[in-house]
Structure 1
Amino acid sequence: MDRQPGRSVRFKLTLSYAGFLMLAGVLLLTAVYVFLLRTYPSWMLIRQVLLRGFGPAVAAVLVFLLLFGLLGGWILAGRMLAPLDRITQATRTAAAGSLSHRIRMPGRRDEFRELADSFDMMLAQLEAHVAEQQRFAANASHELRTPLAISKTLIDVARADPNHDSGELVDRLHTINTRAVDLTEALLLLSRVNQRSFTREHLDLSLVAEEAAETLHPLAEKHGVALETSGDIAPTTGSPALLLQLTTNLVHNAIVHNLAQRGTVWVHTGVRRETAVLTVENTGEQLTPQLVATLTEPFQRGTERIHTDQAGSGLGLAIVKTITKTHDGTLTLIPRPAGGLRITVELPAASEGEPPRLSSSG
């Protein structure tokens, strides 16, 4: 924003200090004058004589106070505004693209130091966010380039060998293209969710869990995984479509990352204090806390999937994390001692007396 140049804050503070000092001097001299009039009425007889000497002295005192106020005010204002100057320089450095700079204001806590600490915290969060976005862009580019490179290789091989089975080529290209489309749709969903462009409605997480479980029940049967749902009514507010996507991703992930035979997935809903809780738990391989801590990062797939026909985009739990965050909730991942994972989503509970809405996949 273009602004007209104005006087500096230091100059304004200097004038304020000098003006206040002059005003205090005038009030003090006036008080002395009034005090003498009231205490010594006879002083009026010699007032003219005294004023001849007192007047120049008063003028000299006021001039001294003015000069002293300007000089002292300029110095004091500079010392007071020195921390603000450091903050301004740090802001310009950050605006130039350097997010690693920190103010690190010394001294005890005051308003300027709280502002500097808040600015340092903001820079740290912004630097981490930019780094995360750069990693995300690099990973997304790699993930999108991989199916394109494979498709190009298959086409080149087919062109070099006219007798190659075209049916097999079409099937493989269809599979690769499907994965690329799924990845693109997942990226678009992440973008829309981050914009928080959705309308909040009242709904029941237990109904959402039942709908997700019903949708994925054939997939669980196909892979020999038992899918169990239980729990109580869990009213909350949010986007029915996004919360259904969240639940579906969790249940799908629990089915895919499971034992080869006789695996189980448990889906439970309930209310805990002032939150609606959704818990998805599954059997599976042993997971370390270090590995679990990375599973919500984009394109982190954890252990190898048992069912190779469900390769996924690597964005399932990243989408869950983003949807949870945009609904002001918390996401917790804990490895099970017996193997597998327990994922808990806590969302703000809806107020009493507000009817829940049946979720809709549309």
Structure 2
Amino acid sequence: MPLDGRQPVPRPRRLTARMKLTLTYALFVFVAGALSLVVVYLAMRFVPDYPLSAVNPQAAAVATRPDILQALIKASAVALLLLALVGLGAGWLIAGRVLRPLQDITRAARRAAGGSLDHRVGLTGPRDEFTELSDTFDDMLARLQRSFDAQQRFAANASHELRTPLAVSRTMLDVAVADPDGQDYGRLVSRLRETNQRGIDITDALLQLAALDHTPPATERLDLADPARGAVAAVREEAGARGVALTADLGPAPVTGNGVLLRQLALNLLHNAVRHNLPTGGSFSLATGADPLRPGHVLLTVTNTGPRLPAADADAAAVYRLTEPFLRGGGRVADKDPARRGHGLGLAIVAGIVRAHRGELTLAPNPGGGLTVRVSLPAAG
């Protein structure tokens, strides 16, 4: 039964594709042979149009035209029967050979329907319709496997992240119940409120992330520099308190998008740039303008100094996994410093906003440490 609970549609059992191809090939051979024999019969029937006679009168009697045509008809019947048999046999073999790649794809599809996504069809040979179908199917399996793996990681990590503040709250309450007289209730309430707010923030971020993937945002024509400017103003105080230098180059970048979401995108990137920077002497920058590499697009770039990312030491492509929910620069573990601690959802929300605006997100580790994030969006026409 399918995973959605629906009963499979009953289908009448008819000829297989191989049998249909076999019969088609045999019919084609039979018709072609019949037409050829008809042409021969007509030629013998009407050409030549003079009486048949022996050159030497002493020779044996010459067969008459009706005798020759009758013999031709008998031979033609035998030839047509042989052609039909040859057509059926050859058609069956040829159809089997032609449909063999399709059978491999069918077996792979059945394994995928059973939940196994770690296999591939992997057809070899010259490029044709079957190899293109095989490559497309393999690509689909790879995408599905990545999606399901990411979904499983998301469920596990979301459960962990949401369970943590609840477990912390329960521990504090258990301690208070065990020793009610030795508690600083003002501090306890403050810590409970902080822990509860963390759970609310995680839930709100998850709801926003889910909405981005299912609800198209309302859009209007605007300049990407305007929401970026608002994000710069919001983060400037925190940057000053941490001693991180901020530079902004906000050139015109007309887009069709949602101003609130684009401001959230820039704010998330700037918060990451500030909080994951160097302890002292750090800097970060934000720039908007036309995308020099993609005509018809505008570009928002955020670059920051900072420590080398652990993923960049092994594989630069692994940096893109930072867009997975709850994955932080240091892995799945939150920073010990509460001021630097995040939920691991900032870049995931950024990626969702970029997808909602049909843009492209690029993350590149800087050679000396830190990260460069580029967001390319279609320019407004």
| Range that drifts further, 295-304 or 168-177 | 295-304
2:119 is the counterpart of 1:93 = no
Say which SS state the counterpart of residue 14 (structure 2) adopts: coil
- Give 1:310 shift: 4.7
Kept in 2: contact 1:256–1:307 (CA 8 A): no
The equivalent of 2:346 in structure 1 is: 316
| Range that drifts further, 131-140 or 34-43 | 34-43
Query: What does 1:172-211 align with in structure 2 at a 5 Å threshold?
Result: 172-195=191-214, 197-211=216-230
Identity within the alignment, %: 47
Question: Which amino acid in structure 2 is aligned with residue 31 of structure 1?
Answer: V
| Range that drifts further, 341-350 or 132-141 | 341-350
User: 2:243 & 2:355 partners in 1: Cα distance?
Assistant: 33
Instruction: State the Cα deviation string for residues 284-328 of structure 1 (Å, max 9, x = none).
Output: 334462387143332232258696235221111122123223433
Kept in 2: contact 1:331–1:346 (CA 8 A): yes
The equivalent of 2:328 in structure 1 is: 301
User: 1:106 & 1:267 partners in 2: Cα distance?
Assistant: 48
Kept in 1: contact 2:365–2:372 (CA 8 A): yes
Residue-pair matches, total: 351
User: 2:287 & 2:115 partners in 1: Cα distance?
Assistant: 47
- Give 1:237 shift: 2.7
The equivalent of 2:67 in structure 1 is: 49
2:128 is the counterpart of 1:110 = yes
Say which SS state the counterpart of residue 299 (structure 2) adopts: strand
- Give 1:111 shift: 1.8
2:260 is the counterpart of 1:241 = yes
2:272 is the counterpart of 1:253 = yes
- Give 1:47 shift: 4.0
Instruction: State the Cα deviation string for residues 248-267 of structure 1 (Å, max 9, x = none).
Output: 10111112223445543321
User: 1:343 & 1:321 partners in 2: Cα distance?
Assistant: 11
Question: Which amino acid in structure 2 is aligned with residue 140 of structure 1?
Answer: A
Go from structure 1 to structure 2 and tell me whether the alpha carbon gap of 1:306 and 1:176 turns closer, same or farther (over 3 Å shift): closer
Which sections of structure 2, spanning at least 5 residues, go unmatched?
1-7, 53-62
Say which SS state the counterpart of residue 246 (structure 2) adopts: strand
User: 1:271 & 1:34 partners in 2: Cα distance?
Assistant: 77
2:12 is the counterpart of 1:4 = yes
Query: What does 1:145-156 align with in structure 2 at a 5 Å threshold?
Result: 145-156=163-174
Question: Which amino acid in structure 1 is aligned with residue 326 of structure 2?
Answer: F
- Give 1:338 shift: 5.2
- Give 1:198 shift: 2.5
Say which SS state the counterpart of residue 67 (structure 1) adopts: helix
Question: Which amino acid in structure 1 is aligned with residue 322 of structure 2?
Answer: L
- Give 1:66 shift: 1.5
User: 2:178 & 2:51 partners in 1: Cα distance?
Assistant: 121
User: 2:364 & 2:163 partners in 1: Cα distance?
Assistant: 33
Query: What does 1:28-177 align with in structure 2 at a 5 Å threshold?
Result: 28-37=36-45, 39-42=47-50, 46-163=64-181, 164-177=183-196
Say which SS state the counterpart of residue 98 (structure 1) adopts: coil
User: 2:351 & 2:51 partners in 1: Cα distance?
Assistant: 86
- Give 1:344 shift: 1.6
- Give 1:105 shift: 2.0
When normalised by structure 2's length, the TM-score is: 0.84
| Range that drifts further, 290-299 or 8-17 | 290-299
When normalised by structure 1's length, the TM-score is: 0.88
Kept in 1: contact 2:44–2:69 (CA 8 A): no
Question: Which amino acid in structure 2 is aligned with residue 210 of structure 1?
Answer: R
Which sections of structure 1, spanning at least 5 residues, go unmatched?
352-362
Question: Which amino acid in structure 2 is aligned with residue 9 of structure 1?
Answer: A
User: 2:253 & 2:115 partners in 1: Cα distance?
Assistant: 46
The equivalent of 2:32 in structure 1 is: 24
Kept in 2: contact 1:83–1:105 (CA 8 A): yes
- Give 1:48 shift: 2.8
